Amino acid sequence: MTLPIFSSSDDPGPSFADLLRRVRPTDALPNGGHDLTITHGTTVLGVRYADGVVMAGDRRATSGNLISHKTMEKVFPADRFSGVAIAGAAGPAIEMVKLFQLQLEHYEKVEGSVLSLEGKANQLSGMVRSNLPAAMQGLAVVPLFGGFDQRRNTGRLFQYDVTGGRYEETDYVSSGSGSLHASTVVKLGFHPDLSREAAIDLVVNALYRAAEEDSATGGPDLVRGIFPIVATITVAGYEQVDDAELRRCVEAIVAGGASA
């Protein structure tokens, strides 16, 4: 592999996606994607709380009526102070996350400074938009983006539509097949000054209720020890909540009346 050197008129700057396009022209997508059974990730949500934001996702991936994965991860760190959660076609979604993580790091290294949270949200918007042709063929990816804005000293949440439309939400966001049920639970339990524990309880409860109503959303599995992925993003950065804490959370919900 030789060093990628470009003339000044053709230089991709700090954009990794542009760099990739220079060295590897995009592969054409196959036609007729509708007929394939594609693995889908389902319910993810994000909630603002006193210290920042909490993001969570269930662990189920489905291919049509099949449950194709019981332990899929849908919440990822984008960099130290932001996270991205994905719902939609799993293949392109995970590729998008990988590219997004790389883009943020690439920018930081080439430019010598970190993008603002707003800048990161816009970058993701461009990536979702460039996936539109694939979305038209049934490979839609609809991510959520959350992070701690160090310049404004607050947690912020963004959601997207398939065209790359970017919408900032002040309280909570959700995406995926179980999002209607999950966001109803969050709506009832939300207030702006939730503590960390209360915020984690709220998102775990929301995913638990969504799993009861939506077949594509996986509930916590106490037998196999499979719990949602939950991460907090605060002034201390991105931190994934460990399974022991989530287990206590789920056990409290079950003990408090699962049928409620």
Catalytic machinery residues: 42
Q: How far is the CB of 8 from another protein (least distance, A)?
A: 10
The closest alpha carbon to 220, from 57, 65, 83, belongs to 57
CB of 24 to another protein, least distance (A): 8
233: three-class secondary structure by DSSP: strand
Closer to another protein by CB, 99 or 141: give it: 99
Give the residue with the Cβ less far from another protein, 112 or 256: 112
Give the residue ranges of DSSP H helices in the chain. Answer: 16-23, 90-111, 117-130, 132-136, 179-189, 196-213, 243-255
Please list the residues that pair with 1 across neighbouring strands.
Answer: none
Token couple for 158: 């963004």
Full 3-state SS string of 146-193: EEEECCCCEEEEEEECCCCCEEEECCEEEECCCHHHHHHHHHHHCCCC
CB of 18 to another protein, least distance (A): 11
Residue 17 or 198 with smaller CB distance to another protein: 17
**Are 214 and 56 spatial neighbours (Cβ–Cβ below 8 Å)?**
no
SS3 assignment, position 258:
coil
Shortest distance, position 21 Cβ to another protein, whole Å? 12
- Nearer Cβ to another protein (20/162): 20
Nearer to another protein, 73 or 221 (CB): 73
Q: Of the two residues 2 and 259, which places its CB atom closer to another protein in the complex?
A: 2
- The closest alpha carbon to 145, from 121, 161, 129, belongs to 121
Strand-pair partners of 139: none
| Closest distance to another protein from the beta carbon of 112 (Å) | 6
Tokens of 130: 């460039």
CA distance 145 to 60: 20
Note the residues at the interface with another protein (CB under 8 A): 1-5, 16, 19-20, 23, 98-99, 102, 105-106, 109-110, 112
Q: From the CB of 97, what's the least distance to another protein, in Å? A: 13
In terms of phi and psi (left: phi > 0; alpha: psi -120 to 50; beta: otherwise), the region of 188 is alpha
